[in-house]
Structure 1
Amino acid sequence: MKIRKGGVEDLPAILTLLDSAVVWLNDKGITAQWGTDPFSTQEKSVRQVEETVRAGDPWIAEIDGVMAGTMTLTPVPGTYIAPADEPEVYVRLLATDARFHGHGVGAALLAHAVEETRRKGVSLLRVDCFAGSEGRLVAYYEGQGFTRTEEFTVGDWPGQVLEQRV
């Protein structure tokens, strides 16, 4: 697996990957996390992904030259979470292509996020995620070294903020 710096030129591929993740989630019966419609068909979602990628540092995980996962690191969270009281790196748009689930792509990207956070001289790495579905995603992040901080909701979408000191 290779992790490379991405850019706005990767937006179409990032949207395709996010669409794949929606299908994978839906196939598992998880429709509340990202809904049932592909990201690429929702104008608001496309705009949000584009704004996030432009405001941050997108990273692309590739396996045999194929995009297997993505994340974007930003200096602030999305608008629904208050920024920390100190410098932080925030993991956003972390997703694995459905074809590569179970290959450690997410873990590799999160390990890269830790490295990037250290490289920037920042000690706080945060992420938020869907807290529904029996908290499986929260447990995943805890398994990657993150600790729960605050819970939040956006409409009826339950979320959890987690952090890691690096």
Structure 2
Amino acid sequence: MSTQDVAGRAVIREARPEDDAIVGELLVEAFLTQYAKKLPEVVYTEQRKRELRDVASRREVATVLVAEVDGVVAGTVALYPPGAPGSEAWLPDAADLRGLATAVRYHGSGLGRPLLDAAEALARRWGMAAVCLHVRRGAAGVAGMYMKRGYVREPSGDMDLPSVYLEAYVLRLQG
């Protein structure tokens, strides 16, 4: 299956309550699989898995988007408005992009592109000046994907948490 096939067939829409379970499992599976391969030292606690699965709470404060391929939820991303609980945006008038993930079978297929396109378009509709996000230190491939889209490293937004160091990136929106 080519990249164009999957990305071109994807339908992006806002997540609904009936999507919560599949989106939660998709996040856990994608994060565990990808980090296990690329960063074997990363361990996801049961608490973190519960947080990833709590899509209903996320939908209360953020816009959660899903990508459907052939009628099946195959990817997700969340966009938090400024000041929303859980937002990690460090700039004023900036949305916070979180939880970009695709089903493992679609990793590398380009399915993240239409999800990011939709999230960035939503931030523009909200009148945001920027989109902020964080990438786990050491996840060079993930950081590279964002940089190819125009995100730039902004160390002032880095987060040194007890269990992880997150590097900050920002996309300045035009018009």
1:61 offset after TM fit, Å? 0.6
Unaligned runs of 5+ in 1: none
Counterparts in 2 of 1:1-166, with a 5 A limit?
1-25=10-34, 28-33=37-42, 35-36=43-44, 42-47=49-54, 49-76=55-82, 79=86, 81=88, 83-84=90-91, 86-133=92-139, 135-150=140-155, 151-166=158-173
> For this pair of structures, how many residues does the alignment match?
161
Sequence identity, in percent? 25
Contact map agreement 2:27 2:53 (CA 8 A) in 1: no
Q: Which has the higher contact order (CA 8 A, sep 6+)?
A: 2
Contact map agreement 1:73 1:90 (CA 8 A) in 2: yes
Report the equivalent of 2:5.
none
Task: Give the counterpart letter for 2:17 in structure 1.
Answer: V
Q: Distance in 2 between matches of 1:144 and 1:74?
A: 19
Contact map agreement 2:27 2:52 (CA 8 A) in 1: no
Unaligned runs of 5+ in 2: 1-9
Q: Distance in 2 between matches of 1:44 and 1:68?
A: 19
Task: Give the counterpart letter for 1:21 in structure 2.
Answer: A
1:26 offset after TM fit, Å? 5.0
1:37 offset after TM fit, Å? 5.7
Give structure 1 regions of 4+ aligned residues with deviation exceeding 3 angstroms.
36-39, 41-47, 76-83
Contact map agreement 1:89 1:117 (CA 8 A) in 2: yes
| TM-score, normalising length: structure 2 | 0.78
Q: Distance in 2 between matches of 1:118 and 1:80?
A: 17
Contact map agreement 1:74 1:91 (CA 8 A) in 2: yes
Q: Distance in 1 between matches of 2:134 and 2:78?
A: 13
Q: Distance in 2 between matches of 1:66 and 1:116?
A: 22
1:128-165 CA distance string (max 9 Å, x none) = 121224x2222221112111112222114121111111
Contact map agreement 1:32 1:157 (CA 8 A) in 2: no
CA RMSD of aligned residues (A): 2.6
| TM-score, normalising length: structure 1 | 0.82
Report the CA distance shift for 1:162/1:132 in structure 2 as closer, same or farther (over 3 A): same
- Tell me the SS of whatever aligns to 2:154: strand
Q: Distance in 2 between matches of 1:44 and 1:110?
A: 22
